[in-house]
Amino acid sequence: MSHLDDLPPTPGKYKVVPYGVLHNHRYLRLSKLTLWASLFLALFLFYLVLSAPPSPSRRSLNDSSVKYGGSHWEKQVRKSARPRSRGGLTVLVTGAAGFVGTHVSIALRRRGDGVLGLDNFNRYYDPKLKRARQGLLERSGVFVVEGDVNDAVLLRKLFDVVLFTHVMHLAAQAGVRYAMQNPGSYVNSNIAGFVNLLEVSKAASPQPALVWASSSSVYGLNTKVPFSEKDRTDQPASLYAATKKAGEGIAHTYNHIYGLSLTGLRFFTVYGPWGRPDMAYFFFTKDILKGKTITVFESPDKGSVARDFTYIDDIVRGCLGALDTAEKSTGSGGKKKGPAMFRIYNLGNTSPVPVTKLVTILEKLLKMKAKRKIMPLPRNGDVEFTHANITLAQTEIGYKPEVDLEAGLKKFVKWYMGFYTGSKKKSSW
């Protein structure tokens, strides 16, 4: 079986719909209170990062193990970023060796776009998995530059070598609970790194259009369901959520001042092959196979915690839809020449599933009974439920989730068994 067989089907380019016709201003304008609160929070967190110790996972350009530049390096960069189809995009994908980044990069490359990856290969989870994803990218013709989005020198070098039409910004410090252990890493990556990328992008001539990963976590303690882009997002339940919300406020500022075309995507619990080991479906699978007890949380009223699980193929189609419909930035060299597009979309499955049912499906697929331990949901940043209203994304970028949880978990389990246990049913992807 080809290593591409389990890839998301190549999404076709979605026809651009005139922006002014469909996008009602009430969906786009943040309330003054929310905007100023977001900016204040962003500035406060940005200040904190100045005093935070550098993450041991970050690699400085002064480190002799990090090499870039030279004719061979530039040749690799240009070759990877060169579109293979007429009219193809030229996309810088940050966090390219991450879960979503790998799938998006390969999908773009498969349809003929030029793709250059950037990733710092940090140790938040097993870097061997990231290196394995890097192997997939290389076999698909995607070169991954090893570096950090906080490295302005490297970013400017990349923008000098390649004229990017788009940036898909997926690099981030993920995870809700880890923020209680290492808060500085979230500020460093999700705020400082994003600002650094925006600074380099706004100085480019012409400026690229940017699509970046926000999160469903921004809805925080909101109790109105399903979550709509119009709902309040000023009650974050975790530092991770706060940094993602701050990112939305910062993006709005760069759009307003510098004319950058910006689209934020609020992902809802993404799962699938090559996923993140810190996600429940992933470590539940690992522990069930090892016969270990798994902890399943319940809400204070003894109800089940539920998530709007969204399969990776559907997320990829949403990402490509956002790239394809993104209008050009209106600035050049840091100067705005007119109003630019600013959008926020939910990307979810719009069908929340109790975590208890997730476990039941895994038991069926793994043919093993889970040892469950029911515990009250701790106050560590997790919320009781998520549920996406995807009407706006359906209308404007053609987003339409197709994979239900059982079908998606079946594909994940097949990949997991092959990758970690050497099962004969292994898919080479």
Active site residues: 240
* CA–CA separation, 422 and 416 (whole Å): 9
Q: Which among 96, 101, 61, 139 is positioned nearest to 429, based on CA atoms?
A: 139
CB 115 within 8 A of CB 109: yes
* CA–CA separation, 326 and 393 (whole Å): 13
In what helix (H) or strand (E) does residue 354 lie, and over which residues does it extend?
A: strand 353-354
Q: Tell me whether residue 265 is exposed, middle or buried, using C-beta atoms within 10 angstroms of its C-beta: 0 to 12, 13 to 18, 19 or more.
A: buried
Q: Over the range 397-415, which residues count as b (16 or more CB within 10 Å of their CB) and which as e?
A: bbbebebebeebbebbbbb
CB 31 within 8 A of CB 127: no
Which sign, positive or negative, has the C-alpha torsion 55, 61, 64, 65? positive
In what helix (H) or strand (E) does residue 307 lie, and over which residues does it extend?
A: strand 306-307
Report how far apart, in Å, the C-alpha atoms of 200 and of each of 39, 111, 150, 255, 296 are: 20, 27, 11, 14, 44
